[in-house]
Amino acid sequence: MTTRNNNKRPSAPLACTECRKQHLKCDAARPACSRCRKTALPCHYLPSRRGGCRRRQSQPAASISGVGASVSSRVPSGTSSSLVYDTPLAIPGQFGASGTLPPTPVTTTTASTGVWPGVVGDDAGHNSHNDNSRRGHDDAEDRIDDRLVRLFYENFHGAHPILVPSSLFAGRRYPHFLHLVVAFIGSHYAPPGPSQQLLGERVATELAASPDRSPAMVQAQLMYAIALYARGHSGDAQAALGRSVAIALELGMYRRDFAPGRDIEAESMRRTWWELYIADVLMAVLHEKSIFQCSSVPYDVALPCEEAVYAGAGSSSSSSSSSSNHIIPEPPTLLDFKQRVFAADELAFSSFSYRIDATRILSRVLALNRLQECHRDHLQAVENALVSWINHIPAKKVDIVDAYGNVDEMIFQAHLTVNYAAMLLHLPRSHLQPVLPEAAAVTTAAAGTASLFAPWMPAHRPPSFTRLVHSIKATEASKQLSDFVSVCPSVHRHSPFLVSALVLCSVVQLATSLSHGDDCFDHHCNRVILVLGCLKNLRRTWAVADPAYHHVRTAAASILANPMRKLSPDQLPSSTTTTTTTTTTTPAAADSSSTASATATADHDLASCHELTPAFIDPTCSSTYFFNTIPDFDLT
């Protein structure tokens, strides 16, 4: 690649898109201007729409001495020397002999953006796609609204933290299509307007026409798939997820040596793979027949670090001249996480790691539910995994908020996933009759497409315990899930995958209310009302919550309306407001744990307080000694 070192240049007839967006002078060098070469940006030229060249004074050429040496030292062998990668992360040999996938040749069209995003290609890399996709856009149209990026990081990034921290986003120079996806997602947290629809159309056009096969495209398609799911377009979401998985497998992102470093870029790549794995499983919940694409390869990607470390590393990198410093701790492996139970001292793993482990258990539940017959030992193994996950959770991970009220989103999702998996495991084997929609699909007038919001459930499966035990465990899991949701009610900042878990939680509570007596009606009713409020708020952001809200509301009205009228204080005899409840001690209660004794004492104290009548205190749904009445059953 040759460059011109003249001190004086003639006036450039046309500026590249990057210089135009930043309102900077461009020397119009080919195949890339000196500014884009120096900053490792993709350099594209569009025909002028303003009637010819404008007169402007000549600009001294930017110094690019040493660029050639930098290029030759950073491009992978066998690749055109005109490629410049904007990351210090070494390019892994993703197509080695040990790979399970056939090698993909690196050509000037597919490698114009390189293995890593943000690459300046040669003339062949400037294909017609870039001209066609951006032709007709003014500078104002190409400029991404910083406000939408901020909304993305404030509301969505915490639930799906795969991009670099917000402090590094502007300097990272992600490709244009990824910027569009970020802005499109951020627009859902802004006041509604026509710009959201226009952004959606631009994103769809840009992603469909782009030949990019880089990790940036994996990230863009993954986030786009989550957004499509949240908008109620399940089919399009599955297609986008499939494209993301295909590129990730092609690049070898499932291998540890793809991103072995301790810098921000390597950590972002590891997070991208695991987020892809999690989304693959969570989207499979909605379908009767599905294939776990990410589980079909022997993945050994290292585990992500803590969110505070990741965000702090971003702040450290933004204040330094290089992002290649070792600011991320040495990442542990999945085997390290599995062997933590044998360690003499409690080992520290990130909340993201527990979220991954919870998702792995969920995938096992889904696999069992899709079998007509399964051995009791297989069912018990998954049940053991669910209980063990809870028993081995560190004490500092039990609470999902810290002393300042900050929510640990990753451990929040981990707890929700475990309880979601428990409901999916036990409900088909219980005697509860859930009020799930028959086809688990409702057509929304706004979207015009089938919007899946409820998980697929088999009709009945053989139980491993009695069906009563499975009913108790399903109900307990739904109670735990609603308890976690009540701690952090700002649902718009949670993952949109929360919708299907909330739906299942509510239908379990509704089904349980039909089999329980009137004494705990308010207990179940309050939990359903909690879920309804969450769905009502969430549907203002994501369309998938709208049919979910209407289904739960309709089911709750048909089941709870009559008992609510019957148990209303103005319908009860006047004597009920002056009577107090008494606690009867049974032999099982006498032999129960200290927790059961404390519960009985609390009930007695409430009964002795004449000021606190049943009109103010809702009765509990069950006591812990209730489980001791079941022979050979240990709750723990």
Q: What is the DSSP string of 173-223?
A: ---HHHHHHHHHHHHTTSPP-HHHHHHHHHHHHHHHH----SHHHHHHHHH
Which pLDDT band holds residue 106 (cuts at 50, 70, 90)?
A: very low
Go through 468-486 and write b for each residue having 16 or more CB atoms within 10 A of its CB, e for each that does not.
Answer: ebbbbbbbbbbbbbbebbe
Determine the Cα–Cα distance for residues 152 and 179; give it in Å rounded to an integer.
11
3-state DSSP assignment of residue 491: helix
Q: Which residue has the higher pLDDT, 90 or 568?
A: 568
Arithmetic mean of pLDDT, 534-545: 93
Contact between 16 and 43 (Cβ < 8 Å): yes
**Residue 208 neighbours by CB distance under 10 Å:** 11
In the numeric block, which tokens belong to residue 136? 């007709």
Q: Which of 277, 295, 323, 261 is nearest to 162 (CA)?
A: 277
CA 345/CA 335 separation, integer angstroms = 17
DSSP summary character for residue 597:
H
Residues whose CB falls within 8 Å of the CB of residue 578, separated by 6 or more in sequence, listed in order: 613
How far is Cα 599 from Cα 387, in angstroms, rounded to an integer? 23
pLDDT at site 286? 83
Per-residue model confidence (pLDDT) at position 42: 72
Are residues 190 and 147 in contact, defined by beta-carbon separation less than 8 angstroms? yes
Average pLDDT over residues 524-541: 92
How many helices and strands, by DSSP H and E, does the chain display?
24, 2
pLDDT score for 628: 40
CATH architecture designation of domain 1-74 = Irregular (4.10)
Average pLDDT of the segment spanning 342-351: 91
CA dihedral 523, 355, 293, 421 (to 10 degrees): -30
DSSP at 623: -
Paired tokens of 635 = 């709750």
Alpha-carbon torsion 502, 508, 511, 513, what sign?
A: negative
- Rounded CA-CA distance 425/463 in Å is 10
Q: Is 264 helix (H, G, I), strand (E, B) or coil?
A: helix
Read off the amino acid at residue 557.
A
Which region among 9-18, 50-59, 226-235, 479-488 has the lowest average model confidence (pLDDT)? Answer: 50-59
518 confidence band (pLDDT: 50, 70, 90): low
**Tokens representing residue 592 in the block:** 């129960």
Q: According to the model, what pLDDT value does residue 623 have?
A: 41
Radius of gyration of the chain (CA): 29
Q: Quick check: helix, strand or coil at residue 452?
A: strand
Highest mean pLDDT among 116-120, 233-237, 322-326, 522-526: 233-237
Of 358 and 287, the structure prediction assigns the larger pLDDT to 358
What is the model's pLDDT at position 113?
33
Give which of 363, 561, 544 is closest to 440, Cα–Cα: 544
What pLDDT, on a 0 to 100 scale, did the predictor assign at position 76? Answer: 36
Provide the residue type at 598 as one letter: A
Query: Can you read off the two tokens belonging to residue 33?
Result: 């201007």
Contact yes or no for 333/299 (Cβ under 8 A):
no
- Per-residue pLDDT of 285-344, as tens digits, reads 888 777 789 988 999 999 999 999 999 886 655 555 444 455 899 999 999 999 999 999
Taking all residues of the chain, what is their mean pLDDT, rounded to a whole number?
Answer: 74
Cα separation, 262 vs 243, in Å, equals 28
DSSP states along 334-396: HHHHHGGGG-SSPPP--HHHHHHHHHHHHHHHHHHHT-SS--HHHHHHHHHHHHHHHHTS-HH
Q: Strands 441-443 and 450-452: what pairing?
A: antiparallel
Within 10 A of 28 (CB to CB), how many other CB atoms are there?
Answer: 18
Instruction: Determine the Cα–Cα distance for residues 23 and 335; give it in Å rounded to an integer.
Output: 51
Cis geometry, peptide bond prior to residue 31 (ω within 30 degrees of 0): yes
pLDDT at 168: 93
**pLDDT category of residue 589 using cuts at 50, 70 and 90:** very low
How many CA atoms, within 13 angstroms, populate the side-chain half-sphere of residue 481?
Answer: 31
- Portion of the chain with pLDDT greater than 70, in percent: 63
Q: What is the pLDDT, as a whole number, of residue 194?
A: 80
Instruction: Write down how long the chain is.
Output: 636
Interhelix angle 264-284/234-251, nearest 10 degrees: 140
CA distance 208 to 179: 15
Q: How far apart are CA 86 and CA 168, in angstroms?
A: 13
Q: Is the Cβ–Cβ distance between 169 and 153 less than 8 Å? A: yes
- What is the model's pLDDT at position 414? 97
pLDDT, position 211: 93
26 vs 545: CA distance, rounded Å: 47
143: Cβ contacts below 8 Å, ≥ 6 apart: 21
Whole-angstrom distance, CA of residue 293 vs CA of residue 290: 9
Residue among 491, 486, 565 at smallest CA distance from 526:
486
Question: pLDDT, tens digit, for every residue of 427-483?
Answer: 888 888 776 664 344 433 333 333 456 677 676 666 666 788 889 999 999 999 999
Q: Which pTM was predicted?
A: 0.71
